[in-house]
Amino acid sequence: MSSPAANSSPAAPAPAQQAQPSPREQVVTAAIREISHIATLPEVTLKIVELVESPKSTAQDLNKIISTDPALSSRILKVVNSSFYGLPGQIASINRAIVMLGLNAVKNIAIAASLAKLFRGGELTANFSAKHLWTHCNATAVASKMIADSLKIGLADEAFLAGLMHDIGIMVEMQFDRSKLIDVFHKAGVDGKGVPLNDWLKAEEEAFGANHQDFGVALCEKWRFPKTFTYVTGFHHRPLELPAEARTLASIVYIADRLASELEGGFRADLLTTDIAPEVLTFLKLDQAKIDAIRKVLPDEVKNASAVLSS
């Protein structure tokens, strides 16, 4: 006689327990949810990002979207005729501007115009304001493009936008909880020249339970940006922790961040040192002579970019 156990049906497997979000994930999710009404890209910008990421997109497709936004149209014409692009003659047609600049460059202008509106909020401390950070991101964008150009790897447009976005997580912190960000400045012990005496990222962890790289990743994901930009926002302080095939842009921005922080008035509170790790230079196949050449002309290039980046 068989036992009851032998005749019984096998027990149904217990439902898999859903992994609980870590404290860090909870903090980041709460921050993005809290600021969602502030840190929102205009619908036209999101459409442009989505369209440009599609391999089937054309200049005519982009022209149709941009033509619905007169302010953005004016902005693009201003930029395409600026010294930053150095194109011959005056260009009066949006379609011609798109053809001359390329879809990626136009996407950058649209995002830059949208981001500039987020980098507002007045002074946080005597030595820091949202505008101060925006100026630094502008310089980092220009330096990133220059580095990418010098490498001749066809990533100049992506590098520009990556540099512009790298510290967006700090703006998330500022919009989410200004008092905690002020606490970060106090913990980091930033001096009158903006140089931190202690580790900024550690101070962020103590104040928020996460750092600006975490917040930057979450915002890029909310905005449905390409994965490459989450790599930059999440790893610009530690690019070599990424897989080799994913670390190029983050490594470029890592260097650009340091070059930009050396400029007069540059933001460097999150950098204990502006030294560039030799391993990053080796990965990008960059030598010190190229870095010094970029450093020399960077101030003038940042001035030339003002038409693209002014808020």
Q: How far apart are CA 175 and CA 206, in angstroms?
A: 18
Residues of the chain with pLDDT under 50: 1-13, 15, 311
Q: Does domain 122-311 have CATH number 3.30.70.1090?
A: no
Helix (H) or strand (E) holding 260: helix 248-261
What's the length of the chain? 311
Q: How far apart are CA 230 and CA 162, in angstroms?
A: 9
pLDDT at res. 49: 85
Q: Could you tell me where in the chain the CATH 1.10.3210.10 domains are found?
A: 122-311
Query: What is the C-alpha to C-alpha distance for residues 139 and 100, in angstroms, rounded to an integer?
Result: 24
CA–CA distance, 72 with 259 (Å, rounded to integer):
30
Amino acid letter, 234 = G
Distance separating alpha carbons of residues 169 and 27, to the nearest angstrom? 13
Predicted local distance difference test score (pLDDT) of residue 2: 40
